[in-house]
């Protein structure tokens, strides 16, 4: 299911619409919190509530919080397939500090959890059309899973849940996405302090570059039988594994 949702913020009593996004209904407040964090509008702890209708979700910013509304400048509707569409230029993208966690995930855990994700995706079983974003611990235990028709929305819902529970950075878990490894998904993982990200599909060249600079271990083409690793392979206890 895909429906439009207006995303807005209330700053010192004044509402500002920030985007119109297409998403799978559910977890709208987490979606908005994750979106605002990824865009550099808020930091953890700066929200004090929401106003929510089926068509609009408004985040209430704590009074006196400085908000850079220019960080939200977009020229088109944000659709379900693109997390950066409508930005005026690449310089408006949020910079991220490099990940510092030094623990790793054994290759057999990566491949085993790839098979487990299929079983955990309740929405995908019904629709066949939802992306998933999942957090796992180093032993392969599923910590959290969110689904959405948009791959970036699924990650925003997951990160938003962590923000609302004051759980960022989350350096003791790793991220799996059921889509390709696009730039915006890698950027969100680095912003959250996640050290390892694995994708079922291919990474883009900009995703690889961002992962390298962000010290994120990036895995692509993950399956129950194999995977490719593109950056910082030592976290997987391998050296140049392909």
- The verdict on whether 82 is a catalytic residue reads yes
CA distance 202 to 183: 11
Instruction: Name residue, tokens 């759980």.
Output: 167
Q: Which of 10, 57, 82, 85 is catalytic?
A: 82
The CB density around residue 224, as the number of other CB atoms within 10 Å, is 14
End-to-end CA distance of the chain: 37
In this structure, the number of other CB atoms found within 10 A of the CB of residue 126 comes to: 10
Can you tell me the distance from the alpha carbon of 76 to that of 57, in angstroms, rounded to the nearest whole number? 18
CB contact at 8 A, 96 and 187: yes
Residues annotated as catalytic are 82
């Amino acid at each position: 299911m895909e429906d439009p949702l207006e995303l807005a913020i209330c700053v010192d009593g004044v509402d500002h619409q920030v985007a119109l996004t297409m998403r799978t209904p559910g977890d709208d407040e987490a979606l908005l919190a994750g979106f605002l964090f990824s865009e550099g509008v808020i930091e953890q702890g700066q929200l004090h509530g929401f106003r929510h209708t089926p068509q609009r979700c408004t985040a209430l910013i704590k009074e006196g919080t400085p908000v850079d509304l220019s960080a939200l400048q977009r020229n088109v509707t944000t659709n379900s397939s693109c997390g950066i569409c409508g930005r005026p230029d690449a310089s408006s993208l949020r910079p991220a500090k490099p990940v510092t966690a030094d623990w790793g995930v054994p290759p057999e855990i990566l491949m085993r959890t790839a098979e487990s994700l299929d079983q955990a995706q309740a929405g995908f079983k019904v629709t066949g059309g939802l992306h998933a974003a999942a957090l796992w611990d180093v032993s392969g235990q599923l910590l959290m899973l969110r689904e959405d028709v948009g791959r970036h929305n699924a990650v925003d819902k997951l990160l938003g849940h962590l923000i609302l529970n004051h759980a960022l950075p989350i350096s003791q878990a790793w991220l799996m996405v059921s889509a390709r490894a696009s730039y915006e998904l890698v950027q969100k993982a680095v912003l959250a302090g996640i050290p390892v990200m694995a994708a079922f599909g291919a990474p883009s060249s900009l995703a690889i570059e961002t992962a390298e600079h962000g010290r994120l271990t990036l895995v692509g083409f993950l399956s129950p039988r194999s995977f490719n690793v593109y950056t910082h392979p030592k976290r997987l206890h391998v050296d140049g594994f392909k």
